[in-house]
Amino acid sequence: MVKTADPVAVRERVRTFALGLPGAVEDFPWGESVVKAGKKVFVFLGVGDGSCPPGITLKLTDPEAHAHALSSPGVESAGYGLGRAGWVRVSLAERGAPPAELLCDWAEESYRVIAPKKLIAELDGG
């Protein structure tokens, strides 16, 4: 039996990781928590008040990472047409959902797709 980690703790770990990336800031458009690099969102964290199932949405444009994500329990193409651009929604409450470590890797990949080049250079130590 696959044990599911606490979805709220996983969400918070991803949030903390994402906010630690260069230039990352949290914002609350549409009543939902997002993390932005520059003026662009790279992680949607949902409402986080318990009114909706915990989940995150990230942009994965690398074909292998995207396919791997979609083969994982609780992961689907994001709604509102975002899926066509590589966005995936991860239900954190799903049994066998990706672990926090992998979600942080995906958050960094999403950041690298969205963030301005100067911030990516800073992340890479340049």
pLDDT digits (tens, 9 = 90+) for 21-77: 999 999 999 889 999 999 999 999 998 777 788 899 999 999 999 999 999 999 999
pLDDT of residue 4: 59
Mean pLDDT of the chain: 92
pTM of the model: 0.92
pLDDT of residue 47: 85
pLDDT of residue 3: 54
Structural contact between residues 102 and 7, judged by C-beta atoms closer than 8 angstroms: no
- What is the Cα–Cα distance from 87 to 77, expressed in whole angstroms? 6
- Cα three-residue angle 48-6-112, rounded to 5 degrees: 65
